Structure 1
Amino acid sequence: MLSLVPCVHLLTSVEIYILDTIQFQLNAEQVAYLTDIRQTLHKAPEASGEEEQTGRFIVEQLERIGADRIVSGLGGYGVIAEYRGIADGPTVMIRCELDGLPIEEISEVPYRSQTPGRGHLCGHDGHMTMVLGVAHLLAGQRPKQGRVVLMFQPAEETGAGAAAVIEDPNFAEFRPDFAFSLHNLPGRPLGEVSICQEYANCASRGMQINLRGKSSHAAAPEDGLSPASAISVLMDQLVKLGVGGEMNDQFTLSTLTHVRLGEPTFGIAPGFGELRVTLRSISDALMEDMIARAQEAVAQATPDLDVAITWHDIFLACVNHPESRDQIIQAAKRIGTPLRELDYPMRWSEDFGRFGLDGAKSAMFFLGSGEAQPQLHNPDYDFPEALIPIGAELFITIIEQLLGLTD
């Protein structure tokens, strides 16, 4: 069970500067409290599909802050907080992620992960905290029209969470007209907003290929049927499906991630093998072409073997709607945070794009988390807490632009 241990948090000069430059401010007490929340979440990461305690903790926080309605158990352990406006209007969803990663944290911070083999090494603990900051702001400034839905989504890292939420019957009444999300971005200046022109994140999926022939004694390999030759061919051909390079309109990348052949012995000629490859592309159309070519390559290389292909971690391309993209740009300019507009997406994937395919005018932006910060999924990554008020204020500004806020 997650439990909050209160502690004193002194605002840094960076945080004070941030608070002084935004229109809808979290006060110092709220920032300090949210910092404690972030560290509490960091201590107790749960992997995709396992976020029961995290979801429960988020519900407890939302009950403390206040909301018109809180619904849990969406698409697994997802949580929604609803804030209704005075008049009718559109629904604006702000989405963050609940899950951590199955990676051991190696940092020495006092709030390091207490769960072996698990770590908040992508910053989802910080994203959740930002959205809780939005909840604090909405508790005092309600929408003038429409409603705000704060979505704490499960299982983003596997690509399964957004689809599960959308398919959940209980989500139907919360289906948004606009949807916004962010991800922190190491390697860029702290607090800088990056927004992509169209595609925000690439499509990707894992292809698992299991091959079965017939084992034999190592002294008589001719009496068996080894998949070794087929694996050798496929290792070469599959990586040629997408060679990466500079991002452009035809970007594709195929990455071999795992190969296994037979048992680790010297007396058995192998009778089975397995390959895993990640296919990646700028668009869903290019992904469909990669899938077709990959399946054809497997068929040609394995005429005498039994073959089973399965697909995992399926992410569709995340595409920014122009209207929502413009709202993000306007909010960044109003707040005064640095803004960088990009022609092409991030190579990595995000399941947030499914909300756009479900009918929402969705857009994702990226928030610089420091030029010298370890990269996402590094074992020593740690979310910079100075971003908490920036992210919250960007979101609340977008909400104000679309719905208005009471004084």
Structure 2
Amino acid sequence: MPGAKTGHNTGLSQTDLEELTTWRRDLHRLPELSGQEIETAETVQRMLRAFAPDTLLTGLGGHGVAAVFDSGQPGPAVLLRCELDGLPIHEVGDLPYRSEKDGHGHLCGHDGHMSWLAGMARVLSRRRPAQGRVVLMFQPAEEDGAGAARVVADPAFAQLAPDYAFAIHNMPGMPLGHVALGSGPVTCASAGMRVTLTGRTAHASLPETGISPAPALARLMPALTALGHGQPKDHDFTLVTVTHARMGEPAFGVAPGEAELFVTLRTRTDDGMEALRQQAEAMVRDAADAGGLAVRIGYEDVFVTCNNDATATDIARRALDKLGTHVDDAALPLRGSEDFGRFGAGANLAFMLLGAGEGAATIHNPDYDFPDTLIAPGVRIFSAIVDEILG
């Protein structure tokens, strides 16, 4: 594979890889949305029990599952994380393992990420680390930003207490097998801002007797978008994207009295997000006041910045260097968001991207599919990182 040599021996056989591929494709057929990953979690639990972890925790932060492989000797705890959830996107194409759930799809590659940790379960069941312990964390609800926060807040998570945390995300558009890794911000903070404007409906022939949100809505969409500036490499980068707008009901006889606006806010830093929120909220309230409207503002899909710790990044880079993997940070930070940053509150953290091919369909596209050729490299990278820390 371009960009990655096979110097690190995980001990996985060709039969192992074929079984992991089949398992991944079975997951692909039955995606579940954020917070609904009941069957997926049960499938993961069955797989893990077959490899006899020393501890198996379930129901973490919802449907999260964690398997601990313990050396029995003092040493650091290393957490490796993948995600359970799919997306509310209808899959297209003619894959023999295409999603069997209409409108749901594993179109971000979380099925492939789970196969990496399933591979690590095989590796660790055959060879425990020389010291410390490894935690395989199958996390729920990454796509809506809620999962990692709930896992970390779960009282049972205290049993895991990782010293280090690592995650890999496949990335179409990057050369197959190349890795993007760097210290500092690697993904942006983001927040879904939900604005509801309320006036008074009227008959369409007498609009002056009502209070319409139309002028405020028309004013806010370009004004909020204009708050964005710069690029992710800029410390003060901001991006504001209008993702949904609705006004009144689909009728010709009613002048609308209510409107709703969805806006996604993005910043490179968490401090920048707080400043952008204040700016956006002030703009919304000014527009509502000018139109005589009541206003309600709420937030959903909230992600903090994912910051790579220098120590964890150096460890991952050393492991990747030993594998002969091409590594650079040119693609970082991403505009997108990733809730893995929540694990950095108590652990040295590193998040990296693994190239899925320059011509591959982009994640969240309806024709995306995780490339099975990445199963072995992903397991190899995780295994090399564990060996770098725990021996």
TM-score (norm 2): 0.97
Partner in structure 2 of residue 297 of structure 1: 283
CA contact (8 A) 2:53 2:67 kept: yes
CA distance in 2, matches of 1:25, 1:349: 34
CA contact (8 A) 1:262 1:271 kept: yes
SS in 2 for 1:87: coil
Establish whether residue 76 from structure 1 lines up as the match of residue 62 from structure 2: yes
Partner in structure 2 of residue 223 of structure 1: 209
CA distance in 1, matches of 2:286, 2:11: 61
CA distance in 1, matches of 2:319, 2:201: 63
CA contact (8 A) 1:86 1:143 kept: no
CA contact (8 A) 2:180 2:331 kept: no
SS in 1 for 2:372: coil
CA contact (8 A) 1:18 1:389 kept: no
Partner in structure 1 of residue 188 of structure 2: 202
- Relative distance call for 1:107 and 1:328 in structure 2 (3 A) is same
Q: Give the counterpart letter for 2:377 in structure 1.
A: I
CA distance in 2, matches of 1:343, 1:112: 30
- Relative distance call for 1:155 and 1:30 in structure 2 (3 A) is same
Q: Give the counterpart letter for 2:313 in structure 1.
A: R
- State the 1:66 CA deviation: 2.1
Partner in structure 1 of residue 380 of structure 2: 393
- State the 1:196 CA deviation: 2.6
CA distance in 2, matches of 1:23, 1:64: 22
Partner in structure 2 of residue 363 of structure 1: 350
Instruction: Map Cα deviations across residues 323-342 of structure 1 (whole Å, 9 max, x no partner).
Output: 00011111111111221233
Establish whether residue 266 from structure 1 lines up as the match of residue 249 from structure 2: no
Q: Give the counterpart letter for 2:49 in structure 1.
A: E
CA distance in 1, matches of 2:32, 2:299: 23
- Residue of 34, 40, 43 corresponding to 1:48: 34
- State the 1:275 CA deviation: 0.6
CA contact (8 A) 1:211 1:273 kept: yes
- State the 1:261 CA deviation: 1.1
Q: Give the counterpart letter for 1:309 in structure 2.
A: I
Partner in structure 2 of residue 7 of structure 1: none
Partner in structure 2 of residue 126 of structure 1: 112
Matches within 5 A, 1:130-141: 130-141=116-127
CA contact (8 A) 2:146 2:301 kept: yes
CA distance in 1, matches of 2:231, 2:317: 28
Partner in structure 1 of residue 314 of structure 2: 326
- State the 1:350 CA deviation: 0.3
Establish whether residue 315 from structure 1 lines up as the match of residue 303 from structure 2: yes
Q: Give the counterpart letter for 1:338 in structure 2.
A: H
TM-score (norm 1): 0.93
CA distance in 2, matches of 1:170, 1:256: 38
Deviates more, 1:106-115 or 1:341-350: 341-350
CA contact (8 A) 1:197 1:343 kept: no
- State the 1:194 CA deviation: 0.8
Matches within 5 A, 1:144-183: 144-183=130-169
- State the 1:86 CA deviation: 3.1
Instruction: Map Cα deviations across residues 183-241 of structure 1 (whole Å, 9 max, x no partner).
Output: 00101111111103311100001000001100111111111111111111111211111
Establish whether residue 39 from structure 1 lines up as the match of residue 28 from structure 2: no
CA distance in 2, matches of 1:248, 1:45: 36
CA contact (8 A) 2:4 2:177 kept: no
CA distance in 1, matches of 2:104, 2:271: 35
Partner in structure 2 of residue 382 of structure 1: 369
- Relative distance call for 1:101 and 1:130 in structure 2 (3 A) is same
- State the 1:18 CA deviation: 6.7
- Relative distance call for 1:43 and 1:52 in structure 2 (3 A) is same
- State the 1:344 CA deviation: 3.5
CA distance in 2, matches of 1:86, 1:75: 27
- Residue of 321, 332, 336 corresponding to 2:324: 336
- Residue of 71, 74, 84 corresponding to 1:88: 74
- Relative distance call for 1:344 and 1:193 in structure 2 (3 A) is closer
- Residue of 334, 342, 350 corresponding to 1:354: 342
SS in 2 for 1:72: strand
CA contact (8 A) 2:195 2:260 kept: yes
5+ unaligned residues in a row in structure 2: which ranges? none
SS in 2 for 1:337: coil
CA distance in 1, matches of 2:232, 2:123: 41
CA distance in 1, matches of 2:74, 2:232: 46
Question: Percent of counterpart pairs with the same letter?
Answer: 47
CA distance in 1, matches of 2:33, 2:48: 22
CA distance in 2, matches of 1:87, 1:166: 25
CA distance in 2, matches of 1:320, 1:116: 37
CA distance in 1, matches of 2:72, 2:154: 28
CA distance in 1, matches of 2:359, 2:230: 25
Establish whether residue 66 from structure 1 lines up as the match of residue 47 from structure 2: no
How many residue pairs get aligned? The number is: 389
List, as ranges, runs of 4+ consecutive aligned residues in structure 1 with deviation greater than 4 Å: 17-20
Q: Give the counterpart letter for 1:236 in structure 2.
A: P
- State the 1:19 CA deviation: 8.0
